[in-house]
Structure 1
Amino acid sequence: MRSRIIAAVAAILLAIVGVVLLTGYVVGADQRAMAGMKTTSVLVVTGPVKAGTPAKDLAELVEPKVLPAKAVAPGALTSLEDVAGKVATADLVAGEQLLANRFDAPEKEKDKDAVEVPEDMQEISIMLESQRVVGSTITAGETVGVFTTYHDSPKPTHQVLHQALVTRVEVGLPPSNAAPEADPEAEEGAEPEGPAVPEGNVLVTLALSAPDAEVLVWSQEIGTIWLSREPEGTPRGGTRTVTEGVLFR
């Protein structure tokens, strides 16, 4: 009888030791896997967040999580201070990374800073690639020149509008679930060279008279558009319609 009890106790002890060793191996494997790659700590949502929730109220609804750098989404936040004074623009769910493009200024503040549309003008928007909008550096309140290239031969280019008032600029971002591509040749901890290049398209809203709005729509439909920064007082003379014949004559 005593030998059976001893055998049972020994079996229990062996089982406990086995569980401990297995747990230690799994934890160690995770640590070894993470040690072989660059990691980043980002904020992850731990509970449902409603659109309109101020960033200052999220302290209990997010937590830091260490992820492989290649799994970190563009714009992932490491601190709520980066979106201080802003509110969530969409519902957030548990498990997703907290992204900067999910936050914006409260509507009342956006309205306060909005550019006033002159009387008898209407607002109209166009979507352009970032390089067509002076590298996405145009801001609301500035005035721009509008250049159009007609697609059909001989593909003429001409400045069709002068000093159009910009009332809103929205810079497009990559999808929230997109992960940056890892550079196998980049040294760990190395700083990127040069300024960051804007990604995505840019939605630019202009305040125009009805005739100028017609010109803009026609230009967008039949060709391509470039915007220049054209402040008040910029000379308007000297433009001409450029074609291959004009350029290489």
Structure 2
Amino acid sequence: MIRRIVVALIALLVAAVGGVLTFLYAQGADERAMAELAPQQVLVVAEPIPAGTPSESIARSLTIVEIPAAAVVPGGVTDLADVEGLLTSADLHVGEQLLTSRFLAPEAVNEAVEVPADMHQLSLQLETRRVIGGELRPGDTVGVFLSGTVTSGTSVESESMDLTHLILHKVLVTAVKGAAGVVTNEDGDEVEQGAADSIMVTLALSPADAEQVVFGMEFGNIWLSLEGPDVPEEGTRTVSPTEAFQ
């Protein structure tokens, strides 16, 4: 009886020791595997960062993540001091690693579209389909079309007519936000990025032209066309339903 108890105790002891050794081995294997992956700390975007943001202002929008070395994208930023004085060259999205290729010197980001001193700069938020599908760049010139409903007559007898007219020619584009373009993904590869659902376009306008455009945005609809320097300006007309179906 005593002999059977002793044998049982020894078996339990061996099982316990074996379990501990197995646990230690497994833990050590995890540590060895992680060591072989050479984990590194990287900066990852935690909140969206707009293009043109100074590097000194993005720390609160970043988080530090430890990942295997094999997953680290070449050119990753590990210290914001490495991009001091630079601006983000594109919108940075949540989850992407912070890359040096996403930064440019201020003079490069704001590459000069020289605006005459007597011009207003006016920004319009337009649906992408109204902005050449988002294929627009600073420095381009555009035609501005205005469509609206004109009512004439008295309060007793009035008549409404839908009209469209190319009101402005070769207007200088000074800035575009949300357009289609080439961006660098989290793997460091350049990929095509489609245009946003709406585009913010900034135009350089004379005071009188700015008034027309603001009126069009408030009470009608604006369309932009890409209008190069050789596009003729004559031959336009105000189009009503009558002219549209001639």
**Structure 2 CA distance, aligned partners of 1:219 and 1:109?**
33
**Could you tell me which amino acid in structure 1 is paired with residue 121 of structure 2?**
E
Partner of 1:125 in structure 2?
Answer: 123
**1:228 alignment partner in structure 2:** 225
Question: In the alignment, what sits opposite 2:137?
Answer: 139
Q: Distance in 2 between matches of 1:66 and 1:115?
A: 41
Distance across 2 between alignment mates of 1:134 and 1:64: 43
Q: Which residue matches 2:161?
A: 154
Look up the SS of the partner of 1:239 in the other structure.
coil
Cα distance change, pair 158–212 in 1 and its aligned pair in 2 (3 A): same
Distance between the aligned counterparts of 1:5 and 1:18, measured in 2?
20
Distance 1:64 1:127, change over 3 A: farther
- Residues 121-179 of structure 1 show CA distances to partners (whole Å, capped at 9, x for unaligned) of 11111111222222222221121100011156532111111111111111269xxxxxx
The one-character-per-residue Cα deviations of 1:79-134 (angstroms, maximum 9, x if unpaired) are 548xxx875489x99x933379x9453323234x2211113111111111222222
Q: Secondary structure at the match of 2:113?
A: coil
Partner SS, residue 135 of structure 1: helix
- 1:243 and 2:240 correspond: yes
> How far apart are the structure 1 equivalents of 2:65 and 2:25?
32
Amino acid at match of 1:216: V
Report the RMSD for the aligned CA atoms in angstroms: 4.5
* Structure with more of its chain in strand, by fraction: 2
Q: How does 1:1-249 map to 2 (within 5 A)?
A: 2-3=6-7, 4-14=9-19, 45=43, 52=55, 63=67, 80=75, 87-88=87-88, 96-98=95-97, 103-111=102-110, 113-151=111-149, 153-171=160-178, 197-249=194-246
Task: Give ranges in structure 1 of 5+ residues lacking alignment.
Answer: 22-42, 68-76, 174-194
Larger Rg: 2
Q: Is the 8 A contact 2:44 2:96 kept in 1?
A: no
Match of 2:156 in 1: none
Distance 1:244 1:205, change over 3 A: same
Counterpart Cα distance in 1 of 2:145 and 2:70: 47
2:18 maps to a residue whose letter is L
Give me the whole-angstrom Cα distance separating, in 2, the residues matched to 1:238 and 1:20. Answer: 85
Q: Do the aligned partners of 1:172 and 1:200 also contact (CA within 8 Å) in 2? A: no
Within 1, Cα distance between the matches of 2:95 and 2:73? 13
Aligned residues: 188
In structure 2, relative to structure 1, the CA distance for the partners of 1:118 and 1:244 (3 Å cut) is same
Given that 1:128 and 1:202 are in contact with CA atoms closer than 8 Å, whether structure 2 keeps it comes out as yes
Mapped to 1, the partners of 2:113 and 2:22 lie a distance apart of 70
Q: Is this contact kept in 2: 1:117–1:167, CA < 8 A?
A: yes
Q: Percent identity?
A: 33
Contact 1:142/1:231 (<8 A) preserved: yes
Q: Residue 211 of structure 2 aligns to a residue in which SS? A: helix
DSSP-derived class of the 1:156 partner? strand
Residue ranges of structure 2 left out of the alignment (5+ in a row): 27-40, 48-52, 57-61, 77-82, 151-159, 181-191
Change (3 A) 1:156 1:147: same
